Structure 1
């Protein structure tokens, strides 16, 4: 698919855009898009405060978690799981209308929210191994992506502070990266806080090195799949019951409590 000069930045990556049609085209062409200025300053501050408060609470209670795809020598990256149960503001991100419009363009509807969690990389933090998000799908992969990740930039994403790095166009390989692909050329997905980045599930990417002396960089990752796949987070066990009690119809679909064809109870949708 050809792209015009208006669709590309001077680095060869797609230029940031708020136009859903162009963003969807960028995802199809490059495997990702960057959508700037989604969260207003006050809303961003609210989300950021809630996230860092949850991270600090996990650390103070001795339940800080790492992630198996982070390099073993790195002890700075912190994962915060099950954000829906931590603060209502994270549910607002999971069903944000513009984000869901792009989710629909990639995997259709209904879709399932497989997970919404955060990655906070600290000063000196090492990079993640290169991977694609649909490694649970047996190869050869289908011609269409089976999932999509919406990465919310809670702090500025910069090359220096460990922004997600991506191999543009790698989704067209229709496979996960092999050992010999570890040295593939990547570009940093730089975006200001309040933006989000959408990555379809076949594109190769990793967390970058945080080379700053004193800055943490937080991203919230909302992971959506086609409805045939099991969710990464077992919402039926882990979710605070109040989230389901007050959920919108859209959120009930995303969580799997409102179903069509799969996940039925006595032949009917459970909600």
Structure 2
């Protein structure tokens, strides 16, 4: 398998980011979240994670990690505060994801992953592994990953196998799955297509956590990971923008009509 040795560098040029996403299957845009907005996202996420621990709802994925259980998943962050609604339908995220998936599309999930000190690496995988191979030539989904903290090689920045999206399949035992960390400052947005192999990095720090919020988007023929109709806070739908209603499947584009008409 032939791959690129490096990942495209983070940029604040959206046209450059679109080019990187098309060519390399990944791009990183800096300074998308800044100041009070970034602080609100960070405070809201860590508060939600702490609440899950307090109430015994903490989710860990020891089976997918090689070393220990320090990684915490926070599901359905869309229901954890209005600041996360803004991430799900953020103009920069939608512009980049739409460049690969078109419109309309669906939001399959909005969750977060927090890796703590000593947190182990996740297995190398592609998010499109739910599809039977051979895969279509175009990605069927994409992730918009929000860097809540600085992403560094030491604190477990997500690692990618450059060029792996061009193979249009999941990794196999005989593949070279050497991965490269995508390092980016807090407030950056990393978008990558569903064919690109990746893994959570190894957090080698003694006292730093690394958090990210992941928006998972797909073409409209795929069911969401999260059952929004059962799990979503009704207030989110009540005050949702038209774009967010489309993403959640509350329009004909998503799950069909209601009595012959588009819902809402």
Q: What interval of TM-score do these two structures reach, taking the shorter chain for normalisation?
A: over 0.9
2:262 to 254, 266, 269: 269
**1:4 equivalent in structure 2:** none
Measure how far apart 1:225 and its partner are: 0.3
Instruction: Give the whole-Å Cα distance in 2 for the aligned partners of 1:68 and 1:111.
Output: 32
Give the equivalent residue in structure 2 for 1:197: 190
1:180-195 alignment runs, 5 A limit: 180-181=174-175, 183-195=176-188
1:172 counterpart residue number:
166
Quick one: which of 152, 155, 158 aligns to 1:158? 152
Once the 2 structures are TM-superposed, how far is the Cα of residue 69 of structure 1 from its aligned partner? 6.1
Deviation at 1:261, TM superposition (A): 7.6
Please name the residue that 1:76 is paired with.
70
Query: Matched residues in 2 for 1:228 and 1:63: separation?
Result: 31
Q: Does 1:127 align with 2:84?
A: no
1:234 and 2:227 are equivalent in the alignment: yes
User: 1:47 is matched with which residue: 41, 46, 50?
Assistant: 41
The answer to whether the 8 A contact 1:69-1:128 is kept is no
Q: Secondary structure at the match of 1:190?
A: coil
Name 1:5's counterpart in structure 2.
Answer: none
Partner of 2:101: 107
Normalised to the residue count of structure 1, the TM-score between the two structures is 0.93
Query: Which string of whole-angstrom CA distances, capped at 9 and with x for unpartnered residues, describes residues 65-97 of structure 1?
Result: 023763265210000001111111001011110
Change (3 A) 1:231 1:36: same
Change (3 A) 1:260 1:166: same
For 1:118, the equivalent position in structure 2 comes to: 112
Find 2:25's aligned residue among 24, 31, 38.
31
User: TM-score, length-normalised on structure 2?
Assistant: 0.95
Q: Which runs of 5+ in 1 are unaligned?
A: 1-7
Partner of 1:215: 208
Inter-partner Cα distance in structure 1 for 2:125 and 2:16: 26
Q: How many residues align?
A: 261
Query: 1:69, 1:129 within 8 Å by CA — same for their partners in 2?
Result: no
Query: Is 1:145 the counterpart of 2:134 in the alignment?
Result: no
The CA distance in 2 between the partners of 1:46 and 1:67, in whole Å, is 26
SS at match of 1:179: coil
CA distance in 1 between counterparts of 2:94 and 2:11 reads 16
Shift of 1:178: 1.3
Shift of 1:270: 1.3
1:22 Cα offset (Å):
1.6
1:69 and 1:220 map into 2 onto residues whose CA distance is 21
Looking at structure 1, the residues matched to 168 and 38 of structure 2 have their Cα atoms a distance apart, in angstroms, of: 35
**Structure 1 residues 18 and 158: CA distance shift in structure 2, 3 A:** same
Question: Which residue of structure 1 aligns with residue 88 of structure 2?
Answer: 94
Q: 2:53 and 2:79 mapped to 1: Cα distance?
A: 17
SS at match of 1:29: helix
Flag structure 2 segments of 5+ consecutive residues without an equivalent: none
